[in-house]
């Protein structure tokens, strides 16, 4: 019997696909890319039409050897890597590295990892799309040119270890520009005025707001209005009763999923993509076997296949009734925007697979994200929500006031999916009193309130992704890596969950603006993305794109090197509120061999330094002092008593804000990710959980359940020697 070899890039994906195919198929994984440009050099031959020098990635030799063994048994080879540019490039590199015979090698793609989708892909094999490969090569080359050319300039002129990226630098500039707007913002004072009206025969007051354009008035104006309306009745001038509709949302794209998961689930962009990848590649679900639960997660399309559309509507009709099915076809709100419509929107592979039914088969993060994707998909095919709205216009002493009321008549898609955070509760408005035009109401209370205009908010990870998408910077597959890279490089830090540039980030941005204006220009970068799309569509040769970019970029590099020849740029120190006890100056943050520390700016006159500590909740179990978070020389976090000199208590376990119900001492929990139940480390308490010889807290009935919930394995006692 002929053997067929299917090569994918992910081991998890290979396990799922194996269960769909018979014994006639062998499924292996390449573990991502097998070839890449060398790390030690540019890898681009500028003098030979931008030829690229690829080498086998270190460590991939055994993987390729294992695949070659399976190749000897196979009569046909199917390359089933992801259905995007990166996946196409991996398939192309596999052909070269394995020296695959073009006659017996085919490329297959599927948008979801289900049995039907995989078998349908096998029925429609094709050749490798070199346009997709060239688009990936062009992006990789552009990023390599920028990174390997500008980064050495930053090492010499700013600080060693820095990096510059073609798209990450633009994302950093977007954040820095917003910070500049905030710094330049001048707040303006304004006042609002609300009046509580007493309506005869109605117990609760009717709230009426002063109406004046945007309802912003000065302090003098509000005092004059209050004086005018005091002891005067209000007359109802007009009552408008209308319906307001709220359309169901569009299905998720990569960027909208990252934005909503951030707001509703408090997931970072990186975490959203990691969990979505797990749901896409396959999860063992009780009663269903191993199955991919969602479609491909890197897409900017909102298209839904006819089959999925009909399945969704059938589910809605059975679960909610025919009146809940959308009456008209939805149109994209971004129909004029250029998108890569190769994939569908992100949706569940089976609309009838309710999240509650499979909750026991998923981790907490998987369940929450799958529920979000499932709810949004079902909602997008549901009817519009309808509200009854009432607007009451009243007048007093020549001043106009307005009262608004809204009540839900028909929930429509809101029966499944609510915009905003899960914990946001929509206030239920009190019913309005039965009023008619000409009725009078007496004021009981006037409430004037002072406000100040607010500067634009700093970007969160989600709003940064939204801004990049709107500006055309980056693509769905790159958003998460861009956001994480600028934080890993310490160009950006999170302050109250919002992104702010560090002094280092501002210095790097300023240098890029002055010397590499094209590279960091938002419109230029967006235009480059459009050119890559043209390469993918076969309209432009990728070497032409590289040549056009390199000519201008090379001139900028030469100019920058000449201008910065004798220059060394100093990164300003970050000043803190910590006061140096020796000289009274505000201490600054410095970076040393073992991380950040506090230092006196008066060096060398004052050489005082301190470690940066973070105050933790809870109390020391030995002396009752406060707990501090510290870092070891190797960068590991540990927790110590603030009275370290006299007490000496320290632990790897994390102090919590909870107290032991038995002894009243602070409870601790194991470090690491996952939901872990706190435990007591007070040696005199009956609930005490001791450590084993390796410093791990022993498992007891109190901690056993939490370890299982977290999915954590016990630490291995030691590695077995190879025979």
Query: Among all residues, which ones are annotated catalytic?
Result: 296
State the sign of the Cα–Cα–Cα–Cα dihedral 330, 334, 335, 341. Answer: negative
Bond prior to 225 in cis (omega within 30° of 0) = no
Name the residue among 208, 178, 206, 203 with its Cα closest to residue 193: 208
Q: How far is the C-alpha of 415 from the C-alpha of 615, rounded, in Å?
A: 44
What are residue 386's DSSP bridge partners? 245, 410
Are the C-beta atoms of 696 and 690 separated by less than 8 Å?
Answer: no
The CA-atom distances, in angstroms, between 164 and each of 486, 491, 556 are 10, 11, 15
Looking at residue 496, what DSSP letter applies? T
User: Residue 512, SS3?
Assistant: helix
Name the residue among 313, 335, 308 with its Cα closest to residue 326: 313
Helix (H) or strand (E) holding 630: strand 626-631
Q: How far is the C-alpha of 661 from the C-alpha of 352, rounded, in Å?
A: 45
Give the orientation angle of helix 85-98 with respect to helix 130-157, to 10 degrees.
100
Q: How far is the C-alpha of 34 from the C-alpha of 57, rounded, in Å?
A: 6
Which phi and psi (to 5°) does residue 498 adopt? -120, 150
In 23-79 the beta strands, taken as DSSP E runs, fall at 25-29, 35-36, 44-45, 51-52, 55-56, 76-79
Backbone angle region of 430, left / alpha / beta, with phi > 0 → left and psi within -120 to 50 → alpha:
beta
Q: How far is the C-alpha of 478 from the C-alpha of 314, rounded, in Å?
A: 35
Q: How far is the C-alpha of 505 from the C-alpha of 625, rounded, in Å?
A: 38
Q: Long-range pairs for 660-666 at CB < 8 Å and ≥24 separation?
A: 660/685, 660/687, 662/686, 662/687, 663/687, 665/619, 665/621, 666/617, 666/618, 666/619, 666/620, 666/621, 666/627
User: Residue 212, SS3?
Assistant: coil
* Side-chain half-sphere CA neighbours of 454 within 13 A: 5
Look at the chain and count its residues. Answer: 723
Q: How far is the C-alpha of 591 from the C-alpha of 597, rounded, in Å?
A: 6
Burial of 644 (0-12, 13-18, 19+ CB in 10 A): middle
Are the C-beta atoms of 7 and 67 separated by less than 8 Å?
Answer: yes
Looking at residue 683, what DSSP letter applies? T
The CA-atom distances, in angstroms, between 373 and each of 135, 347, 440, 481, 552 are 30, 6, 51, 21, 44
Name the residue among 614, 616, 584 with its Cα closest to residue 601: 584
Structure-token pair, residue 250: 């569009």
Helices marked H in 267-363: 269-281, 306-319
The DSSP bridge pattern shows strands 189-198 and 105-107 to be unpaired
């Amino acid at each position: 019997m002929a053997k067929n070899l299917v090569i994918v890039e992910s081991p998890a994906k290979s396990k799922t696909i194996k269960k769909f195919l018979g014994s006639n198929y062998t499924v292996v994984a390449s573990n991502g890319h097998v070839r890449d440009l060398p790390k030690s050099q540019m890898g681009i031959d500028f003098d030979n039409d931008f030829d690229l020098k690829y080498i086998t990635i270190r460590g991939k030799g055994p993987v390729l050897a294992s695949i070659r063994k399976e190749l000897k048994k196979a009569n046909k080879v199917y390359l089933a890597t992801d259905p995007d540019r990166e996946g196409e490039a991996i398939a192309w590199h596999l052909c070269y590295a394995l020296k695959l015979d073009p006659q017996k090698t085919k490329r297959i793609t599927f948008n979801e990892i289900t049995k039907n989708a995989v078998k349908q892909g096998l029925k429609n094999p094709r050749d490798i799309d070199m346009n997709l490969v060239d688009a990936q090569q062009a992006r990789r080359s552009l990023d390599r040119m920028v990174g390997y050319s500008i980064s050495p300039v930053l090492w010499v002129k700013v600080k060693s270890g820095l990096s510059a990226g073609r798209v990450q630098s633009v994302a950093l500039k977007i954040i820095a520009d917003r910070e500049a707007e905030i710094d330049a913002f001048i707040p303006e004072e304004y006042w609002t005025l609300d009046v509580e009206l007493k309506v005869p025969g109605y117990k609760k007051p009717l709230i009426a707001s002063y109406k004046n354009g945007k309802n912003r008035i000065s302090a003098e104006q509000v005092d004059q209005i209050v004086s005018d309306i005091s002891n005067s009745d209000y007359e109802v001038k007009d009552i408008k009763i209308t319906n307001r509709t709220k359309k169901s949302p569009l299905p998720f794209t990569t960027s909208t999923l990252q934005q909503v998961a951030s707001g509703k689930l408090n997931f970072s962009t990186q975490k959203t993509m990691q969990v979505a990848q797990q749901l896409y590649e396959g999860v063992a679900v009780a009663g269903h076997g191993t199955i991919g639960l969602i479609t491909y997660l890197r897409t900017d399309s909102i298209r839904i296949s006819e089959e999925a559309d009909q399945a969704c509507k059938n589910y809605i009709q059975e679960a909610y009734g025919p009146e809940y099915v959308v009456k008209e076809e939805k149109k994209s709100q971004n129909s004029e925007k250029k998108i890569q419509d190769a994939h569908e929107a992100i949706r569940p592979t089976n609309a009838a697979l309710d999240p509650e039914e499979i909750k026991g088969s998923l981790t907490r993060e998987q369940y929450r994200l799958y529920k979000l994707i499932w709810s949004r998909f079902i909602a997008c095919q549901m009817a519009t929500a309808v509200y009854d709205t009432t607007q009451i216009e009243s007048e007093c002493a020549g001043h106009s006031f307005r009262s608004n009321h809204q009540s839900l008549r028909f929930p429509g898609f809101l029966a499944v999916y609510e915009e905003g955070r899960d914990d946001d509760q929509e206030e239920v408005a009190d019913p309005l009193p039965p009023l008619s035009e000409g009725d009078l109401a007496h004021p009981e209370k006037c409430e004037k309130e002072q406000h100040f205009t607010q500067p634009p908010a700093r970007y969160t990870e989600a709003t940064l992704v939204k801004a990049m998408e709107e500006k055309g910077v980056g693509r769905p597959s790159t958003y998460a890596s861009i956001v994480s890279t600028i934080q890993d490089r310490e160009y950006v830090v999170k302050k109250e969950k919002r992104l702010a540039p560090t002094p280092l980030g501002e210095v790097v941005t300023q240098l890029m603006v002055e010397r590499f204006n094209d590279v960091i220009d938002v419109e230029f970068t967006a235009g480059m993305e459009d050119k890559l799309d043209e390469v993918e569509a076969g309209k432009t040769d990728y070497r032409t794109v590289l040549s056009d970019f390199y000519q201008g970029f090379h001139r900028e590099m030469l100019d920058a090197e000449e201008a910065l020849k004798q220059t060394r740029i100093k990164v300003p120190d970050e000043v803190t509120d910590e006061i140096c006890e020796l000289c009274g100056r505000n201490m600054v943050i410095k970076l040393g061999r073992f991380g950040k520390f506090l230092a006196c700016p008066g060096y060398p006159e004052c050489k005082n330094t301190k470690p940066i500590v973070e105050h933790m909740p809870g109390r020391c179990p030995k002396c009752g002092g406060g707990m501090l978070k510290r870092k070891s020389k190797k960068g590991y976090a540990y927790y110590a008593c603030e009275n370290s000199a006299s007490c000496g208590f320290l632990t790897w376990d994390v102090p919590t804000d909870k107290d032991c119900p038995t002894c009243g001492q602070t409870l601790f929990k194991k470090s690491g990710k996952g939901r872990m139940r706190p435990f007591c480390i007070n040696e005199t308490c009956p609930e005490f959980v001791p450590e084993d010889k390796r410093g791990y807290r022993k498992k007891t009935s109190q901690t056993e359940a939490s370890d299982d919930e977290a999915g954590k394995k016990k630490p291995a006692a030691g590695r077995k020697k190879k025979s």
